[in-house]
Amino acid sequence: MSALLLMVAGLAWGAPSPTSEMARQVSTAQLRVADVEAQLVEAELRIEELQEWVSHQGRSAADRLENLDEVNTEVARLRGAIEVMQFELSQVKQAVEEQQLGQEKRQLHAELRLQQIETFLGVTPPPPPTDADLGLAPAEGGSETGGEPVELAPAEVPADANGKLELGVEHMSAGRQGVARAILKGAVAAHVGSKEMPEIRYRLAETFFNEQGWAAAVSEFNKVINNHPSSEWACWSYYRQGEAFESLGKGDGAKAFYAGATEGPCKGSEAAAKAREKL
């Protein structure tokens, strides 16, 4: 009987968790696409500058065509590289979806086998866990350890973006990452285009980082970079992605992100200074 119970426990808890390797590959591919796109923009600017320079210098038509052909060839090469990167990114995303689907199938199979064993043994399954059991709501008595409520009444959440940001940071500082995440996600949905949005997205990513959810943190920091590339929070997002990859034991990947924190608009940032210490 004890062996059978051990088998039940193994079915309940032994299913492999989804690997975060695919998620890291998606983030790395996105960074490569962004870098190539940046190179494409620079090359196109070079074309415009070259055309203007040639017109002022009065160079011969043959020289103009030669120089422009060289730059156009480089632009074509970069555009081709972007297409390759985008294809690789779509392939990795598809692999992630297939990985998740396979995990769900394995979990469903394990649940069905567990039900059969419970029926055979005549065992009554325990009730589903409550929000209080999961730490999402206060147990009877209405408060966490320390007397502070876990859930906020709607009236307690500020209506403006800055208020939500400050409240989210306050909960993060108190170690309530889940509560902070809920507030910051609400701010992202409710205050599109607000000046606080780069930091709101950055703090949202930090809630995962603070819980050592490295793959989720990398993905969320990437949203800061993609949506707010000129913001100081994009520079810090590159840096924190590097830290996440270091924590995952991916030193080469970490260096790529640290390098991102030292380039373009980030060159003179505080994040760049810290990133250079890592390179």
The rounded distance, in Å, linking the Cα atoms of 170 and 183 is 11
Helix, coil or strand: residue 14: coil
Burial class (CB in 10 A: 0-12, 13-18, 19+), 159: exposed
Q: What phi and psi, each to the nearest 5 degrees, are found at residue 134?
A: -90, 0
Count of H-run helices and E-run strands, the chain = 10, 0
pLDDT of residue 14: 41
The rounded distance, in Å, linking the Cα atoms of 159 and 194 is 13
The rounded distance, in Å, linking the Cα atoms of 36 and 260 is 12
Burial class (CB in 10 A: 0-12, 13-18, 19+), 258: buried
Q: In the structure encoding, which two tokens stand for residue 229, read together?
A: 């590339």
Closest to 69 measured CA to CA, from 50, 85, 86: 50
The rounded distance, in Å, linking the Cα atoms of 77 and 40 is 9
The rounded distance, in Å, linking the Cα atoms of 74 and 24 is 30
Do 238 and 276 form a contact (C-beta atoms < 8 A)? Answer: no
Q: Which residue has the tokens 């998740």?
A: 100
From residue 94, how far is each of 97, 179, 249 by CA, in Å?
Answer: 5, 31, 24
What DSSP character marks residue 145? T
Q: Can you say how many angstroms the Cα of residue 125 is from the centroid of all Cα atoms in its chain?
A: 37
Per-residue pLDDT of the chain (279 residues; tens, 9 = 90+): 444 444 444 444 344 444 545 555 666 666 666 666 666 666 666 776 766 665 666 555 555 556 667 777 777 777 777 777 777 777 777 777 777 677 777 777 777 777 777 677 776 766 766 666 555 555 444 444 344 444 444 447 889 999 999 999 999 999 999 999 999 999 999 999 999 999 999 999 999 999 999 989 999 999 999 999 999 999 999 999 999 999 999 888 889 899 999 999 999 999 999 999 998
CA atoms within 13 A on the CB side of 3: 0
Look up the pTM and report it. 0.49
